[in-house]
A = this chain, B = another copy of it.
């Protein structure tokens, strides 16, 4: 077992690019929305509240290109398109969950800090 040759602190390292893809605004939400199985475009739109179709398309295309999500078109009418996680995408669920749980369980403390700060800066 050798050491990891990637270092996110190096701006020239590919892992930096990867980190910024998975740490973008919508990726974590989309990946987690797909955790229980495939969803269609319109279902994703609802599951991930607040995303516009343009940005959803952009993000899904990026996830597809990076091998995290699979897009499958069914020749029905009206056309049906399903998005599902690849195994690589599923492997991202655990780390993402850790962050999400932190966000949900510490949100109150952050909001409190923000209020205190804003009150002090009057």
Interface residues of A (CB under 8 A from B): 4, 6-25, 28-29, 32-33, 47-50, 64-68, 88, 91-92, 94-96, 98-114, 116-118
Residue pair A23, B99 in contact (C-beta under 8 Å): yes
DSSP class of A's interface residues: helix, strand, loop or mixed?
helix
Residue pair B20, A66 in contact (C-beta under 8 Å): no
Partner of A96, one of B9, B32, B99: B99
Residues of B within 8 A of A100 (CB): 8, 19
Residue pair B94, A106 in contact (C-beta under 8 Å): no
Residues of B within 8 A of A108 (CB): 6, 14
Q: Which residue of B lies closest to A117 (CB)?
A: B65
Residue pair A104, B15 in contact (C-beta under 8 Å): yes
Distance, CA A110 to CA B22, complexed state (A): 11
Task: Report the minimum CB–CB distance from A98 to chain B (whole Å).
Answer: 4
Residue pair B109, A102 in contact (C-beta under 8 Å): no
Residue pair B113, A88 in contact (C-beta under 8 Å): yes
